[in-house]
Structures are given as structure tokens and as C-alpha cells.
């Protein structure tokens, strides 16, 4: 065989083997937050803010940005639900707390605020279990995003053991 033909056969075999190994799986296992845990995180977040005298909404989304639980305290504005969801979505998109993203990427903050479903404001906190990002909680209604975030962090701390061992 000549060198050109040998090279073509070797190259073809290489590309064929790459194609087989790069195929996606037919079934995907996904570590994502369940409804009960999401509900409890939202409830504990509202209770934490109530203890501080704030009436807020808390929205928990899964790792894909799909709402798993949404609660609005009795005296919270109806608009807080949408804002909380958008904060949670921002957290899922960036996989960092929304306040940290806001500080780190002020150069694109305005552009991202024009994307439907996102808002770059403090108050979105990621939910991590067993090293996996399983979702996020967004909070709106306290007088300042730092206070929104603090309520979510208190709730996550209260449920820490349950969250940490949710993913096996």
C-alpha cells in the first residue's frame, strides 16, 4: 500500500472512532431539586424574612430554570414573585449567586436585564447538594437584595443537612 492510502485509512479510522465515543447518551441522569425540598426551602426563606420583619416572595427553580416552588407572603407585592423567579434564573444561568455575578460582570449587566426571564440583582442563591448544582432560590421584597439573599442563606443553612445529603 502506498503512504497516501495508508494515511487515508488511518485518518478515517480515527474519525470513525471519535464519532462513536462522542455520541450522546440515550438516557440522561439529572441531579435536580425535588418538589418537596423546593417547597421547604421557599417556606423557610419566607419565615426567615418574616423574622426580620420583611414580606417577600421566594421562588425555587431546578437546575434548568424550571419553577419547582413559588410562595408569596401575604403582604408581599405581586411583582415580587416575578422578580424572585428572574433572580433564581440568573443564578442558574451563571451558577453563582446573583449578587456575586452582578459584581463580577457589571460590564454586561444591562444587556442581561433585557433577556426575558433574567434580572441581574442580588437575591438569587444557588442550591448545592453533594457537589452538584441542583437549583436556586430567588428572593424579592426585602428592602435591598442583600437582605433578600440573607433570608435565603438562613433557610439554606437551616436545611443544610437535608440539602447536602439529597444527592447520593
The CATH number covering residue 57 comes to 3.30.450.150
pLDDT at 148 over 70: yes
Q: Could you tell me if residue 8 is inside a domain?
A: no
pLDDT at 41 over 70: yes
Q: Cα(98)–Cα(145) distance, rounded to whole angstroms?
A: 10
Q: Cα(117)–Cα(101) distance, rounded to whole angstroms?
A: 16
pLDDT at 168 over 90: no
Q: Could you tell me if residue 43 is inside a domain?
A: yes
Q: Could you tell me if residue 4 is inside a domain?
A: no
Q: Cα(164)–Cα(143) distance, rounded to whole angstroms?
A: 30
Average pLDDT, whole number, for the chain?
Answer: 90
Quick one: how many helices (H) and strands (E) in the chain?
A: 7, 4
Give the residue, 93 or 26, on which the prediction is more confident: 93
User: Residue 148: which domain range?
Assistant: 35-164
Specify the number of domains making up the chain. 1
Other beta carbons within 10 Å of 161: 8
pLDDT at 166: 87
Q: Could you tell me if residue 1 is inside a domain?
A: no
Q: Could you tell me if residue 14 is inside a domain?
A: no
Q: Could you tell me if residue 10 is inside a domain?
A: no
Q: Could you tell me if residue 11 is inside a domain?
A: no
pLDDT band of residue 106 (cuts 50, 70, 90) is confident
Q: Could you tell me if residue 47 is inside a domain?
A: yes
Decide: 154 and 148 in contact? Cβ < 8 Å. no
Amino acid at each position: 500500500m502506498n503512504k497516501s492510502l495508508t494515511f487515508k485509512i488511518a485518518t478515517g479510522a480515527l474519525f470513525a472512532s471519535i464519532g462513536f465515543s462522542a455520541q450522546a447518551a440515550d438516557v440522561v441522569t439529572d441531579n435536580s431539586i425535588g418538589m418537596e425540598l423546593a417547597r421547604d426551602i421557599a417556606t423557610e426563606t419566607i419565615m426567615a424574612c418574616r423574622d426580620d420583619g420583611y414580606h417577600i416572595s421566594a421562588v425555587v427553580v431546578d437546575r434548568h430554570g424550571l419553577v419547582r416552588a413559588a410562595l408569596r407572603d401575604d403582604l408581599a407585592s405581586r411583582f415580587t414573585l416575578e422578580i424572585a423567579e428572574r433572580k433564581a434564573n440568573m443564578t442558574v444561568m451563571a451558577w453563582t449567586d446573583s449578587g456575586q455575578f452582578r459584581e463580577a460582570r457589571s460590564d454586561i449587566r444591562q444587556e442581561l436585564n433585557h433577556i426575558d426571564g433574567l434580572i441581574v440583582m442580588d437575591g438569587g442563591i444557588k442550591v448545592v447538594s453533594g457537589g452538584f448544582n441542583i437549583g436556586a432560590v430567588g428572593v424579592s421584597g426585602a428592602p435591598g437584595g442583600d437582605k433578600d439573599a440573607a433570608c435565603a442563606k438562613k433557610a439554606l443553612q437551616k436545611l443544610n443537612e437535608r440539602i447536602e445529603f439529597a444527592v447520593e
